[in-house]
Amino acid sequence: VRGRQIFEYDSDGEALNFKNRNVILFLDRPANDEFPKYKLLSYEIVNAYVFKRLYITISSRKGHSTILKYDVSYLTKRELSDLKLSLSKVIKANTENNKRQQMQQP
């Protein structure tokens, strides 16, 4: 049993919610993160031979960025493509909103 087997993702509403935990509760500390959609900057899925990992880059205070890591090795191809589609939609909406805000500024 490698990594965290359970990955949950929720993009309903104004926030993104990521949960990543192990089947056996005492083996590993669960990762739970929730943040507003507008903070999502980018994502990358690294597909190594033995595991798959999701890297999420979010904006933090004072213009810095933070990288969050999740194990997605146990997701099916369909679940992985749905995750990519959902995250891409959020990033596209964020870039469109940023462009609109920049155009409105004098």
Place of tokens 């995750």: 83
Better-predicted residue by pLDDT, 5 or 87: 87
Long-range CB contacts (< 8 A, 24+ apart) of 44-50? 45/72, 45/80, 45/84, 50/2
CA distances from 70 to 26, 32, 102 (A): 18, 10, 32
Q: Tell me: the pLDDT tens digits for 2-56? A: 666 788 888 888 999 998 877 666 666 667 889 999 999 999 999 988 889 999 9
Q: Under a CB-based contact definition with an 8 Å cutoff, are residues 68 and 49 in contact?
A: no
Q: What is the pLDDT of residue 21?
A: 78
Higher pLDDT, 103 or 14: 14
Query: What's the pLDDT score for residue 88?
Result: 95
Please give the single-letter amino acid code of residue 4. Answer: R
CATH number, span 6-104: 2.30.29
